[in-house]
Amino acid sequence: MIRKWSTSIVRAGRSVGRSSAPVTYTLIALCCLAFLAGPASGLNPAYGTGDELLAVQRAYFRRWGVIPAELFEGSARPALTPATALFVHGSWVHLLGNMLFLYVFGAMAEERMGRVQFTLFYVGCGYLALLGYAVANAGSEQSLVGASGAISAVLGAFLYLFPRARVTSLLPFLFFLPVRFPAWVVLPFWAALQWLAAGRATDGPRVAYLAHLIGFALGFGYASVRYGRPTGPTRVKAAPAPAPEGENQP
């Protein structure tokens, strides 16, 4: 059994290494493994159940997530949390939504940027997006976790690099029928929804829409400065209309 598992892991590693977007797939794998190993998945009975599990989850999010009120105290550990929070997710929906967006848009962005540059871009923009949210909510004691700031940066860069790419979207108000629109229609529409939601979220929202907006702006700005003219039309795999999530955990 152990030999079979080790063989499967080696084959998966070789497959990722030969793919055109190994960093994207590695990030997805790391986020999934961190979620499955942590208490948020609810799969490990060692974390307990009921109130005991909730207490463990809160402690887990406070340890690895961003707590704005503690971020600027001057100690080293809180300063690292905008990086660790990128690999922590609060629920199955949170994880799967974010990973779907990263899978759909990350591969093409990575191919255009290159592996090393894409890695630095993803982590750097994700860190700054969470940091920006913390600055705007400096008194908050809630834990902020999730890769949505970094993934929003990928969306922003994708919009600049591939504005005419055809994106298949599943829109709720059209009964989730698949429709195809160019990226310059879909992604600004998504950003506008984040802007409207952020304007209404005045009572401590569970979704950090501001981090989405900061990440999106950073990604688009970076791509516009770093790269030349956008590429021609292409096709992108299906992605749902709802945005990647960034949850504030209690």
For the chain (length 250 residues), average pLDDT per consecutive 10?
A: 38 48 96 95 87 92 92 84 95 92 93 96 97 90 92 95 78 49 79 78 65 95 86 55 44
pLDDT of residue 234: 60
Whose CA is closest to 95, among 31, 155, 27? 31
| Side chain identity, residue 70 | E
pLDDT of residue 19: 59
Q: Which of 143, 148, 152, 169 is catalytic?
A: 148
Whether 94 is a known active-site residue: answer no
3-state secondary structure of 139: coil
Q: Which of 143, 152, 169, 212 is catalytic?
A: 212
Whether 6 is a known active-site residue: answer no
pLDDT of residue 225: 93
pLDDT of residue 228: 73
Can you count the helices (H) and strands (E) in the chain? Answer: 10, 5
**Residue-wise DSSP of the chain:** -HHHHHHHHHHHHHHHHHSS-HHHHHHHHHHHHHHHHSGGG---GGG-SHHHHHHHHHHHHHHHSB-HHHHTSS-HHHHHHHHHGGG--SSHHHHHHHHHHHHHHHHHHHHHH-HHHHHHHHHHHHHHHHHHHHHHTTT--SEEE-SHHHHHHHHHHHHHH-TT-EEEEE-GGGTT-EEEEEHHHHHHHHHHHHHHHHHH--S--SB-HHHHHHHHHHHHHHHHHHS-S-----EEEEEESSPPP-EEE-
Q: What is the largest CA-CA distance in the chain?
A: 54
Per-residue pLDDT reduced to its tens digit, 17-66: 445 899 999 999 999 999 999 999 988 888 888 889 999 999 999 999 99
